[in-house]
């Protein structure tokens, strides 16, 4: 398996370089699991919220990984603020629009499909859409700030952005999604 594989691309190198960041992701994952456990009763009372947990986390992680991956490619090509920050502004704007559209659709789709899947929905249609939209927008604003910070750090310390920016952004989307979902639920009085 050694033929034509540069030393930085062997499974050992990938594993060793990934372990610290992914280990951190696991720690944060377990802590966000404790958030789930702490709000277990509320999640079981409003089952559609429990069913939305992987969706909100997953889509938050998806949009985060698009932003992270694009910013990582940009960092390979020069830096966050190269070309007057045009590329970064474009990526941040696109991420916010993607989040607003996708999270609104998520609430609407869940309201329609959940009863079909045997999950009772007690919220009004517009309230569930508002919950997912607020959760998505709050999440994205935090992630844009985070990508600036991590992008600067990886540039500063010479880390490979593909190994650092993407996992950090994805973890943030994964974890904070639960917090923003519960907070947005609180706003509409769940």
Partner 1 sequence: MSEAGVRDILRESLPLLLGMAVLEVLAGSFLGRMEASLERLPGLLALVPAVLAMRGNISTSMGSRLGTLTRFGLVPRDRWTSPLVWHNIVASLVLGVVLAFAAAVLAHVVTVAAGLPSAGVLRLGAIAVTAGVLSGVVMGAVAIVTMRVAFRRGLDLDNVAGPVLMTMSDVFTLLSLFAAAAWLGGA
Interactions with partner 1, residue window 70-129 (CB under 8 A):
70, 72-73, 76-77, 83, 87, 90-91, 93-94, 97-98, 101-102, 105-106, 109-110, 113-114, 117-119
Does residue number 33 form part of the binding site for partner 1 (CB under 8 A)? Answer: yes
| Total interface residues for partner 1 by CB under 8 A | 80
Contact between 54 and 32 under an 8 Å Cβ cutoff? The reply is no
Query: Least distance to partner 1 from the beta carbon of 188, Å?
Result: 19
Does residue number 135 form part of the binding site for partner 1 (CB under 8 A)? Answer: no
User: Phi first, then psi: what are they for 152, rounded to 5°?
Assistant: -65, -45
Does residue number 53 form part of the binding site for partner 1 (CB under 8 A)? Answer: yes
- Distances in Å between the Cα of 173 and the Cα atoms of 2, 7, 51, 88, 109 are 36, 32, 17, 19, 20
- Pick 17 or 127: Cβ nearer partner 1: 17
Contact between 65 and 25 under an 8 Å Cβ cutoff? The reply is no
Query: Least distance to partner 1 from the beta carbon of 122, Å?
Result: 15
- Pick 30 or 157: Cβ nearer partner 1: 30
Query: For 85-94, b where at least 16 C-beta lie within 10 A, e where not — what string?
Result: eebbeebbee
Among 42, 47, 142, 148, contact with partner 1 (rule: CB under 8 A): 47
Among 61, 138, 151, 185, contact with partner 1 (rule: CB under 8 A): 61
């Amino acid at each position: 398996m050694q033929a034509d594989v540069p030393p930085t691309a062997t499974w050992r190198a990938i594993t060793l370089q990934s372990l610290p960041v992914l280990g951190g992701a696991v720690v944060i994952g377990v802590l966000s699991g404790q958030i789930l456990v702490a709000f277990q009763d509320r999640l079981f009372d409003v089952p559609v919220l429990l069913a939305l947990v992987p969706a909100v986390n997953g889509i938050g992680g998806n949009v985060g990984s698009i932003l992270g991956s694009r910013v990582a490619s940009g960092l390979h090509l020069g830096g966050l603020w190269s070309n007057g920050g045009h590329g970064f502004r474009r990526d941040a704007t696109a991420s916010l629009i993607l989040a607003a559209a996708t999270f609104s659709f998520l609430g609407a789709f869940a309201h329609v499909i959940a009863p079909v899947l045997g999950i009772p929905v007690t919220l009004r249609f517009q309230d569930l859409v508002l919950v997912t939209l607020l959760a998505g927008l709050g999440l994205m604003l935090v992630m844009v700030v985070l990508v600036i910070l991590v992008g600067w750090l990886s540039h500063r310390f010479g880390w490979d952005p593909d190994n650092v920016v993407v996992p950090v952004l994805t973890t943030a989307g994964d974890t904070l999604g639960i917090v923003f979902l519960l907070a947005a639920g609180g706003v509409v009085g769940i």
